[in-house]
Amino acid sequence: METLTRNNYIEGAFTGEGGGNRIDVLNPSRNTVIGDIPDSGTEVVDRAVASAKKAQKAWAKLPAIQRAGYLRKISAKIRENADEIAKTIVEEQGKIAPLAAVEAQFTADYFDYMAEWARRIEGEVISSDRPGENVFLLRQPIGVVAGILPWNFPFFLIARKAGPALVTGNTIVIKPSEETPLNALIFARLMAETDLPPGVINIVFGRGATTGKALSQHPDIGLISFTGSVATGSAIMREAATNITKVNLELGGKAPAIVLADADLDLAVKCVTMSRLLNSGQVCNAAERVYVEKKIADEFTQKLAKAMAATKVGDPASQGIEMGPLINKPGVQKIHEFVKNAVADGARVVTGGDFIELDNGNFYAPTVLSDVNEGMSVMRDEVFGPVLPVATVSGLDEAIERANDTTYGLTSSIYTTNINSAMRAINELDFGETYVNRENFEAMQGFHAGTRRSGIGGADGKHGLYEYTRTHVAYIQT
């Protein structure tokens, strides 16, 4: 792959600044340098926000259906260039090739889906207490949105932020993760090839502590739409407090998967394995811990370990590979710490439990741990890797109680053939989403929103769209 050295994308053009601090981009399969980006400071962020602000008024005045037309042009560009995009995601993020292809297509689908909302952005007419008065509630754009992105679905997250922001009349400044900026460079190039008005989408590159912070503290940002870790979400709330900026936070998870004795065991094994290993375990709503009913615990754990051990791990660009590397060296080392600490506290490694040495990449063996309890960090903290602790429970009551014993609240799942058990889980699990007899992904027409420390607000569907609007009430006395 050609080494990409490019700059920020502001007001419809790549910017000229070449010097300053640069950040190397590594290939996680080999840890070789495949590109670099600037670490943009306040001056660059000011220019990007000014560009978005300048473009916003005219953009908001366009009928929504015309804005949707631009979204469709963006999705068409993505489809035309899907192979290049997918290849870059494989290269810089380590996603296996078929999943990277899905990400590119899904991103195009998402822009199309958000375009469909153009004729459905609705306000309200509210009955008044006064004779001859009309009360209207309008939904209006917030202004300039900052979209701060993680590295795990780097291309899709561009659409999840820009799609709803643009169709509702906002403009946006996107800050990709410094780990995975190269796909965003392609996106910027594709924008430059459309007639999207300059300034509607701007992309600035850099680290969280410089570029991200400068954006979050900027007085002209109306909404910070952030996806990433709880710790960064918390930092962004503090930064947003400077100007009382609205935040939308999609943060981490510690999803429990409950497997009851009446479950279709093979389905549960298949879904939980897929979920834990998808994107090398680096998915916010992946099964992070299992609570299996005692009667079937041995059979389930053995089948799970067999499926995990059979997974083909290797170069994500190669055919037939089912799991690639983790994002970086600290990431894979952190995974091993979880395992070592759990074992020191009495956990048993059923399969895996160590690095896989391959091409100097960040590979880790799919791992199942048994004899675990909530005192262990592997059961409490987001692992974000291919390590799955399996705890046994006496039944649904204990499973729900232990599943809820967490500070996270993103997603959860249950495997059962009993409708009453499924409904009880839905009613009593304290999470934003519950999957019954399936695992992630979520649907673009749903509402992906965590409770507790997993976030504020949400994404997707009607409710996600309206996160990008503010209300304006008019009282008209006739």
Taking the complex as a whole, the smallest distance from the CB of residue 175 to ligand NAD amounts, in Å, to 6
Contact stretch for ligand NAD (CB under 6 A) within 55-63, 88-96, 193-201, 251-259: 251-259
User: Contact between 288 and ligand NAD (CB under 6 A)?
Assistant: no
Residue from 64, 142, 403, 410 touching ligand NAD (CB under 6 A): that is 410
DSSP for 112-176, please give it: HHHHGGGGG---EEE--SSTTEEEEEEEEE-SEEEEE--SSSTTHHHHHHHHHHHHTT-EEEEE-
Spatial distance between the Cα atoms of 87 and 100, rounded to a whole number of angstroms: 7
Closer to ligand NAD by CB, 90 or 249: give it.
249
Closer to ligand NAD by CB, 251 or 368: give it.
251
Taking the complex as a whole, the smallest distance from the CB of residue 232 to ligand NAD amounts, in Å, to 3
Using alpha carbons, list the distances in angstroms from residue 288 to 35, 271, 384, 415. 33, 13, 8, 15
User: Contact between 281 and ligand NAD (CB under 6 A)?
Assistant: no
Name the residue among 472, 473, 475, 455 with its Cα closest to residue 464: 455
Residue from 384, 415, 431, 435 touching ligand NAD (CB under 6 A): that is 384
The backbone torsions φ and ψ at residue 460, rounded to the nearest 5 degrees and listed phi first, read 85, 155
Token code pair at residue 430: 């304290």
- Whether a cis peptide bond, with omega within 30° of 0, leads into 441 is yes
Annotated catalytic residue, options 284, 288, 433, 442: 284
For β-strands 387-393 and 411-415, DSSP reports them as unpaired
Annotated catalytic residue, options 250, 293, 322, 382: 250
Q: Are 114 and 172 in contact (CB under 8 A)?
A: no
Spatial distance between the Cα atoms of 87 and 297, rounded to a whole number of angstroms: 40
User: Contact between 152 and ligand NAD (CB under 6 A)?
Assistant: yes
Token code pair at residue 458: 């949400």
User: Contact between 253 and ligand NAD (CB under 6 A)?
Assistant: yes
DSSP for 259-324, please give it: E-TTS-HHHHHHHHHHHHHGGGG--TTSEEEEEEEHHHHHHHHHHHHHHHHT--BS-TTSTT--B-
Q: How many alpha carbons lie under 13 Å from residue 235 in its C-beta half-sphere?
A: 15
Q: Are 257 and 435 in contact (CB under 8 A)?
A: no
Q: Are 185 and 211 in contact (CB under 8 A)?
A: no
Q: Are 452 and 407 in contact (CB under 8 A)?
A: yes
Closer to ligand NAD by CB, 258 or 284: give it.
284
Residue from 92, 103, 178, 460 touching ligand NAD (CB under 6 A): that is 178
Residue from 148, 323, 376, 429 touching ligand NAD (CB under 6 A): that is 148
Closer to ligand NAD by CB, 118 or 224: give it.
224
Closer to ligand NAD by CB, 92 or 239: give it.
239
Closer to ligand NAD by CB, 143 or 455: give it.
455
Taking the complex as a whole, the smallest distance from the CB of residue 396 to ligand NAD amounts, in Å, to 26
User: Contact between 239 and ligand NAD (CB under 6 A)?
Assistant: yes
250 is an active site residue: yes
Residue from 175, 254, 303, 453 touching ligand NAD (CB under 6 A): that is 175
User: Contact between 448 and ligand NAD (CB under 6 A)?
Assistant: yes
Q: Which residue has its beta carbon closest to ligand NAD?
A: 208
**In what helix (H) or strand (E) does residue 388 lie, and over which residues does it extend?**
strand 387-393
User: Contact between 251 and ligand NAD (CB under 6 A)?
Assistant: yes
Site string for ligand NAD, 219-238 (x = CB under 6 A): --------xxx--x--xx--
Residue from 150, 256, 352, 361 touching ligand NAD (CB under 6 A): that is 150
Residues 6 or more apart in contact with residue 147 via CB below 8 angstroms? 157, 158, 161, 162, 165, 172, 173, 174, 175, 225, 226
284 is an active site residue: yes
User: Contact between 26 and ligand NAD (CB under 6 A)?
Assistant: no
Q: Are 168 and 468 in contact (CB under 8 A)?
A: yes
User: Contact between 73 and ligand NAD (CB under 6 A)?
Assistant: no
Residue from 28, 38, 163, 212 touching ligand NAD (CB under 6 A): that is 212
Of residues 255-274, which lie at the interface with ligand NAD (CB under 6 A)?
A: none
Judged by the rule CB under 6 A, the positions of this chain that interact with ligand NAD are: 148-152, 175, 177-178, 207-209, 212-213, 216, 227-229, 232, 235-236, 239, 250-253, 284, 382, 384, 410, 448, 450, 455
Q: Enumerate the active-site residues.
A: 250, 284
